[in-house]
Structure 1
Amino acid sequence: MAMTTLKDIYLDQLQDIWSANTQSLQVVTELGRAARDKDLSEALIAGGTGISDGIAAIEQLCADHGIKPNAEHCKGMEGLVTEARAHGLSNDIADADVRDAAIIPQYQRMVHYALAGYGTLVAFANRLGLDGDAAVLQKCLDDTYDGDRRMTQIATTGGVNQDAVA
C-alpha cells in the first residue's frame, strides 16, 4: 500500500500492532509457564489475556476499515520475541529465581513496543477524527500500561529480584 496520507500510515500501524501482538502472545505464554514466582506467573497470564483482547480489538478495527490484519509482519517484535526466548527461557539459566528476574525485562521490552504502537495509534485516530477507534485503542493502551506497572511492582517491591540476588 502506498503511504500518501495519515490514514494510510494509521492502517499500516494497525496491521503492525496486530502482528506484534500475535508474535508476542506465544512467548508471553511460554514465559508464564517458565516463571516460578506465583505473582509473576499470574501477571504473565494476565498479560497474555490482555494481548489476546488487543488482538481481537485490532481485528475488529481492521475489519471496520476493510483491511486484513495480517498484511504486515512486525520485524521489531520478531526481534524482541527472539530476545525474550534467548534471555528469558534459555537453558543456560539454571536457577529459577534468576530466570524469574530475567523474564521481567524481556516481557517489559515487548510491552514497551506495544505502548509505543498503541500510543501512536491513539494519536493518529484522534487526529483523523476516528473517535470510536481512538476509544478502543485508548483502552488497549491503558490496559498495556497497567500490565507494565504490575510487572514493575513485581520487580521492585515483590520478591523476584531479591530472590535472584541470593
Structure 2
Amino acid sequence: MPSEPKTLDDLFLDTLKDIYYAEKQILKALPKMAKAANAPELKQAFETHREQTEGHVERLTEVFEAIGKAPRGKTCDAILGIIEEGKGIIEEFEGSPALDAGLVAAAQAVEHYEIARYGTLKAWAQQLGLKDAVKLLDQTLGEEEKTDQLLTKLGMTSVNKQAA
C-alpha cells in the first residue's frame, strides 16, 4: 500500500527540527565569532546574540511541546555550510582590518537563514491554527530581525570603514 501523503503538519515538524538543529550549531559558533572579532561592539553583539539564541532554543522546545513532540534536531546542511564559511573568513582574514567586516557578513548570512525559517514556520503555524507556536515563533523572528538590523548598523558605522 502507498504511504500516506505528507502534510503541512509534517513539513512544519521537519522545518522545526531543522531550525532547532541550526540554533544549536549557532550556539557553538557564536563564542568563536566573538573571540575572533576585533571591534568591542561586534564582540558584544555576538555575546548578546548567544544569550538570545539560548532563549530561541528554549522557545523552540516550547513549540515542540505545544505540538506534542519531543524536541529533536535534524541535520541542517545549509547552516553547516554558512558556519563553515564563517570559519573560513576567520582563518583567511585573521589579523586583517577586513576581518570584522567579514564576520558581520557571515553573521548576517546566519540571520537571513534564521529569518527565512522563522517567517515560514510562523506562517505555517498560523495556517495550522497553532496559536501558541505563532506567538513563540513571532517573538524569535522579531529578535532575529533586530539582530540583523544591529549588524547592518555596525557594518555601516564602523566595521566596513575600518576594513577600507
TM-score between the two structures when normalised by the length of structure 1:
0.91
Q: Which residue of 2 aligns with 1:102?
A: 102
1:1-166 to 2 correspondences below 5 Å: 4-87=6-89, 89-90=90-91, 92-157=92-157, 159-165=158-164
| Equivalent pair of 2:19/2:114 in contact (CA under 8 Å) | yes
1:70 alignment partner, SS class: coil
Long gaps (5+) in structure 1:
none
Deviation at 1:69, TM superposition (A): 2.7
Amino acid across the alignment from 1:153: K
Deviation at 1:140, TM superposition (A): 0.3
Percent identity over paired residues: 27
Task: Tell me how far apart the structure 2 counterparts of residues 144 and 60 of structure 1 sit (CA, whole Å).
Answer: 18
Equivalent pairs, count: 162
1:163–1:60 distance in 2 versus 1, CA, 3 Å: same
| Equivalent pair of 1:81/1:110 in contact (CA under 8 Å) | yes
Long gaps (5+) in structure 2:
none
Amino acid across the alignment from 1:8: D
Amino acid across the alignment from 1:48: R
Amino acid across the alignment from 1:46: T
- For the aligned residue pairs, the C-alpha RMSD in angstroms reads 1.7
| Equivalent pair of 2:63/2:132 in contact (CA under 8 Å) | no
Deviation at 1:3, TM superposition (A): 6.1
Deviation at 1:68, TM superposition (A): 3.0
2:69 alignment partner, SS class: coil
Deviates more, 1:134-143 or 1:41-50: 41-50
Deviates more, 1:20-29 or 1:115-124: 20-29
Deviation at 1:96, TM superposition (A): 4.6
TM-score between the two structures when normalised by the length of structure 2:
0.92
1:109–1:58 distance in 2 versus 1, CA, 3 Å: same
Deviation at 1:70, TM superposition (A): 2.4
Deviation at 1:26, TM superposition (A): 1.2
Deviates more, 1:109-118 or 1:24-33: 24-33
Task: Tell me how far apart the structure 2 counterparts of residues 5 and 122 of structure 1 sit (CA, whole Å).
Answer: 16
| Equivalent pair of 1:3/1:9 in contact (CA under 8 Å) | no
| Equivalent pair of 1:18/1:58 in contact (CA under 8 Å) | yes
Task: Tell me how far apart the structure 2 counterparts of residues 98 and 3 of structure 1 sit (CA, whole Å).
Answer: 50
What's the CA shift string for 1:72-105, capped at 9, x where partnerless?
Answer: 1111111111111111x21x32435321111000
1:71–1:20 distance in 2 versus 1, CA, 3 Å: closer
